[in-house]
Amino acid sequence: MIRINLLPREIKETSQGKKSSFLVFGGAFLFVALIAGLYLSRRVRLSSLEREVSDVEAQIEELKPIVAEVERIRSEIEELDRRYEVLGSLVRTRFIYPVFMEKLTEITPRDTWIRRMDTDTEDSRLLVDFSVMARDNYAVADFISAIEEHPDFSEVNFTGISTETVDVNETPVELRSFSVSCVYEHSAE
């Protein structure tokens, strides 16, 4: 089929201009509509997130008293644990002094006297510093040997031996004086 256009050229050109201006305005309208749609979707998303944030903040406010209660309970538990450790230490070391004194009495020679004793506990160990007097060098040697060889005493340190004159029944007697520091730890027998 053959097509013949009988319309004048001016009408044809104006219809072409109308089509091109329609396309330009239509494209611009679609672009503006797309931008407006994106803006609205972002705005809806932003308001949704703001609502979630306010909900979470409200939940946080509701949970603050519970968290404070948990912290209070946690601090009470820590305090009770600390007290339990102290009581456990007391239970573990409650017999250390009587047993220590019994052992010290067993190993102290007859002519030896303990003048002063300082002690400190460290877990189940007893740190001991004491000043000792002995009648003669044999008693000093016996005491030193006995404490060094005993399995419950360790880290034994002696200081120099000095001589002191003491009146016994108005008779001057020369006694040996020395100091001992050691660690006592009761071994299970």
Model pLDDT for residues 15-59, shown as the tens digit of each residue: 556 677 778 888 889 999 999 999 999 999 999 999 999 999 999
Percent of the chain predicted with pLDDT > 70: 89
CB 114 within 8 A of CB 139: no
Residue 2: the pLDDT is 76
What values do phi and psi take at 40, rounded to 5? -65, -40
Residue 87: the pLDDT is 83
What values do phi and psi take at 2, rounded to 5? -105, 140
- pLDDT grade for 96, boundaries at 50, 70 and 90: confident
Neighbours of 115 (CB within 10 A): 10
Residue 93: the pLDDT is 65
Pick from 128, 83, 88: which is nearest to 108 by CA?
128
* Mean predicted confidence (pLDDT) in 98-127: 87
Dihedral-angle region of residue 122 (phi above 0 means left; psi in -120 to 50 means alpha; beta otherwise): beta
* Mean predicted confidence (pLDDT) in 126-152: 90
CB 131 within 8 A of CB 181: no
User: In the CATH hierarchy, which fold is given to the domain comprising 96-184?
Assistant: Alpha-Beta Plaits (3.30.70)
Q: Which sequence spans correspond to the domains of the chain?
A: 8-94, 96-184
* Mean predicted confidence (pLDDT) in 129-156: 91
Residue 56: the pLDDT is 92
